[in-house]
Amino acid sequence: MISKFLKGFVFAFKGIRYAFVSQINFRFHLFAALGIFLISYFVGLTRTEWLWIITAIFLVLIAELINTLIELLVDLISPNYNYNAGLINDISAASVLLTAVLAFTLGLFVFVPKFF
């Protein structure tokens, strides 16, 4: 029972590793998150501000993982060019973009008052 539970973590980290190795946007967002964590530490965020920043970061990373999943599924199901498959990938990428815009906006609300 516990062994099966722990194997689930191994598989999950395998998925994160795959995204890190194969997806430049996932790496970009992960490194950006590390930078934001450092800035957050030095400007002294409140607990509530930390909550917003951590939520925003994880939403973007989760969106990137889901986008990667959808791209892999589309490639598996439709290995040849297909207009609708392309639309699926585009819409999936758009969801990451909107999530990143949300995270950026939340970051503005948290950080702008710290500097101005």
- Which residue segment(s) compose the domain that 71 sits in? 2-115
Confidence check: pLDDT of 1 > 70: no
- Number of neighbouring beta carbons within 10 Å of residue 99: 20
Model confidence over 95-106: pLDDT tens digits? 999 999 999 999
pLDDT at residue 44, as a whole number: 94
Rounded-to-integer distance, Cα 7 and Cα 20, Å: 20
Model-level pTM?
Answer: 0.93
Name the residue among 56, 59, 64 with its Cα closest to residue 26: 64
- pLDDT (tens digit per residue) in 20-59: 999 999 999 999 999 999 999 999 999 999 999 999 999 9
**Which CATH number is 17's domain given?**
1.10.287.3610
User: Is residue 2 pLDDT above 80, yes or no?
Assistant: no
Q: What is the end-to-end Cα distance of the chain in Å, rounded? A: 54
The total domain count for the chain is: 1
Return the amino acid letter for 104. Answer: F
